[in-house]
Amino acid sequence: MVGLTLGFKEFHDYLMLAPEERNTEQGKKLLEESIENMKMGTRRYARRQNKMVRGRFLEHPSREVPLIYELDTTDVSKWDENVKNKAIHIIESFFKNSTCDYEPLKSYVSEEKKNADGNSYNYCEVCKRIFLGDNVYAIHLKSHKHLKVLKSKKKLGEQCKKLDGEEAK
């Protein structure tokens, strides 16, 4: 489960210290660790968001999506230039139905995804199950459950061969 807040968990130990303990060497070290953990958590959260946007909007083969623009928020000293002014221009050009000076992100759908049939009928001989859609079937073939059934059937086949060999003697 994804946490609802960013930073609370990372600062919990520091916040549990008594006010006089926070000014000690141990308290200052704990604060620095908490800050580093929060930065790492923030980067992880940003990567998940970017991955979600790509998967939901830029890599989806059949979905019509709105134009998506990238805003560079890495340098706070250039916030107005890279984020605020750019965002205002993008929004104004949308509402005025005029040409935008900035290029939206390109949708990059692989040929495999473009050609995948979402309504195809696939039957897994190993698991004795039906799957609708090529991508759902492809996911199944790589799944832990499918590989486990495949392994157990392979093991069962080897045991049967051994038994057949012993009966022949």
Domain boundary residue, one of 115, 136, 152:
115
Query: Are residues 164 and 135 part of one domain?
Result: yes
State yes or no: pLDDT of 107 exceeds 80: no
pLDDT at 90: 95
Averaged pLDDT of the chain: 85
Query: Are residues 135 and 82 part of one domain?
Result: no
Nearest partner of 118 among 55, 65, 60, 58, judged by Cα: 60
Query: Are residues 2 and 54 part of one domain?
Result: yes
Query: Are residues 162 and 134 part of one domain?
Result: yes
Q: Is the pTM of this model over 0.75?
A: no
Number of domains in the chain: 3
Paired strand residues for 123: 130
Query: Are residues 68 and 42 part of one domain?
Result: no
Query: Are residues 43 and 7 part of one domain?
Result: yes
In angstroms, the CA 132 to CA 50 distance is 28
Query: Are residues 127 and 82 part of one domain?
Result: no
Pick the residue with more confidence: 84 or 9? 84
Q: What is the pLDDT of residues 108-124, one digit of tens each?
A: 766 666 666 667 888 99
Domain boundary residue, one of 41, 58, 75:
58
| Domain extent for 104 | 62-115
Q: For 58, list phi and psi in degrees, rounded to 5.
A: -90, -20
* Confidence band of 85 (pLDDT split at 50, 70, 90): very high
* Confidence band of 138 (pLDDT split at 50, 70, 90): confident
In a 3-state reduction of DSSP, which class is residue 118? coil
Query: Are residues 54 and 67 part of one domain?
Result: no
- Among 85-99, 109-123, 153-167, name the most confident range: 85-99
